[in-house]
A and B are shown apart, each in its own frame.
Chain A
């Protein structure tokens, strides 16, 4: 049974965990960021970070250096550091964009972060010690439209970006001021800043749909993305950029996450996280729904139930408006909770219904064992 926390009625646009998962930063569809602390068995609101003017669109919490970066529709990003009095202090980051920022991600080594924006560019920001501020470098070509999602490769240099021009691109975000030359990977060997290493189209015969989320696997060889045409795709650089697509028959997904080298979770408008598996040949297959435990009884209406509802609620029909899944509205983000991308045991989902649910794989596996695998 997944653990669920309710944060009111406002949709949760973004959420991020700290290193030991005792603190949670969420943004309830407003310019504020709420920090919750797990104390004595319950989640208490610890602090509200109020610096942005417009809606916060992305939050990421660097686990090792304990810094939060938030980006917002007001074209700004702030890096928050915790002072000795346990208060969070913001530092402005000059993104130099003239449109809203849409997503933000710390790099694996937490020395830089990337911000996607509606200005058709990605800002890769790093801290300059001499001037004591955060400076950004732009990746522009050949992005033709808003960047909606970002993810870093484990080598801290490559960056995958999904965009509303129906394409997923892998760029090099190598900043020579702060890091050494990267070694060559399956994506390529020469990696100057802004070089596009690979480009994938979201559909074989044309447009497809906006790319909502992109994710590198733990080895960095595979990249998965989900698009608005209800499809989920995987590209494998070690197999010559081979792409495998499934066009599902459910509503489009909004977020995806690798939980092992061969399995990934996707969740979205269907309000139910789904598990997908990649087999040896590199083909992606549907493995099962993870919300199986909460199936509503859809088999007919018993007379008992009818009289019960008449008695208690003065209602003659028993059709509920609630969904059979835990989340009652679209799931907007999926985060790793316990484990890493190579082997995750728990992950969290947050949705438009203001609910944050933590799913445990060990429970789900046993529940799913009875299910058929397609």
Chain B
């Protein structure tokens, strides 16, 4: 009688082990899924959505698990993380100078009707604003003249519209400094000017 008991224990243990493995694998997958960026997630979702659950098979086999057997035919290796080709990321740049800010504001496409041009300019300005150090902000604001301050304020507000990680905090620092120099009138001009940035 001992042997069957022992074997039953081992059997139970093995079930537990399998469950643990499954849980671990699921947890691993879940973690890595969240860390994946949007493009990779889409890639996965596209592949998985092609799996169909055949209703007839469900009826025939009489169990839900048995019906979703199409997943057994997927080539798992193609979804291996290592196979995903990442874009080459650029070199990290040194914090831009005040001259860069001046140039970017001077060439702001205010009169342009092309929304793509405006969005591209916005991205560049955001990069400059967010990568400048907090100590440089005051110096930069003092170096600008009134017209450029108005344009800068317009960009600050537009930057608030599409927040990214920590951008709003940095933009608030810029806003405070510009407001200290140019006052409420600058903000009024952002609101009233038809020519949006």
Contacts and interface: CB of A to CB of B under 8 A. Distances in A.
Interface in B138-197: 146, 150, 182-186, 188-189, 192-195
Contact of B110 (A206, A230, A248, A251): A206
A129 B84 CA distance: 92
Contacts of B189: 209, 229-230, 247
Contact of B195 (A207, A228, A230, A248): A207
Task: Bin chain B's interface residue count.
Answer: 10 to 19
A208 interface: yes
B114 interface: no
A208 B110 contact: no
B194 A207 contact: yes
Contacts of A250: 183-185
Contact of B111 (A205, A209, A230, A249): A205
B151 to A, nearest CB: 10
Contact of B188 (A203, A205, A206, A230): A230
Contacts of B186: 249
A252 B182 CA distance: 14
Q: Considering residues B146, B183, B184, which has the most beta carbons from chain A within 10 angstroms of its beta carbon?
A: B184
A250 B111 CA distance: 26
A298 to B, nearest CB: 16
Contact of A206 (B182, B184, B185, B193): B193
Interface in A205-236: 205-210, 228-230
A166 B195 CA distance: 13
Contacts of B183: 248-250
B193 A229 contact: yes
B195 A205 contact: yes
Interface residues of A, number: 17
Contacts of A166: 194
B106 to A, nearest CB: 13
Contacts of A207: 192-195
A117 B168 CA distance: 44
B195 A206 contact: yes
Interface string A247-264: 111111000000000000
B194 to A, nearest CB: 3
Contacts of A228: 188, 192
A252 B188 contact: yes
A247 B185 contact: yes
A230 B193 contact: no
A249 B110 CA distance: 21
Nearest to B186: A249
Contacts of A248: 183, 185
A113 B184 CA distance: 37
Interface in B96-147: 110-111, 146
Contact of B182 (A208, A210, A229, A249): A249
A205 B184 contact: no
A106 to B, nearest CB: 31
A248 B186 CA distance: 8
A228 B182 CA distance: 16
A209 B185 CA distance: 12
Given A206-B110, A206-B111, A249 B185 contact: yes
Nearest to A251: B184
B146 to A, nearest CB: 6
Contacts of B192: 207-210, 228-229, 252
Nearest to B146: A247
Contact of B184 (A203, A210, A249): A249
Nearest to B183: A249
A209 B188 CA distance: 10
A208 B193 contact: yes
Contacts of B195: 205-207
B127 to A, nearest CB: 25
A247 B150 contact: yes
A247 B182 CA distance: 10
B133 to A, nearest CB: 26
B194 A230 contact: no
Contacts of A209: 188-189, 192-193
B109 to A, nearest CB: 12
B152 to A, nearest CB: 14
Contacts of B193: 203, 206-209, 229
A82 B188 CA distance: 44
A3 to B, nearest CB: 29
Given A206-B195, A210-B192, A249-B182, 15 more contacts: A205-B111, A206-B194, A207-B194, A207-B195, A208-B192, A209-B189, A228-B192, A229-B188, A229-B189, A230-B184, A230-B189, A248-B185, A250-B183, A251-B185, A252-B185
29 contacts: A166-B194, A203-B193, A206-B193, A206-B195, A207-B192, A207-B194, A207-B195, A208-B193, A209-B188, A209-B193, A210-B192, A228-B188, A228-B192, A229-B189, A229-B192, A229-B193, A230-B188, A230-B189, A247-B146, A247-B150, A247-B189, A248-B183, A249-B182, A249-B183, A249-B184, A249-B185, A249-B186, A250-B183, A251-B188
A-B pairs with the 3 shortest C-beta distances?
A: A249-B183, A207-B194, A230-B185
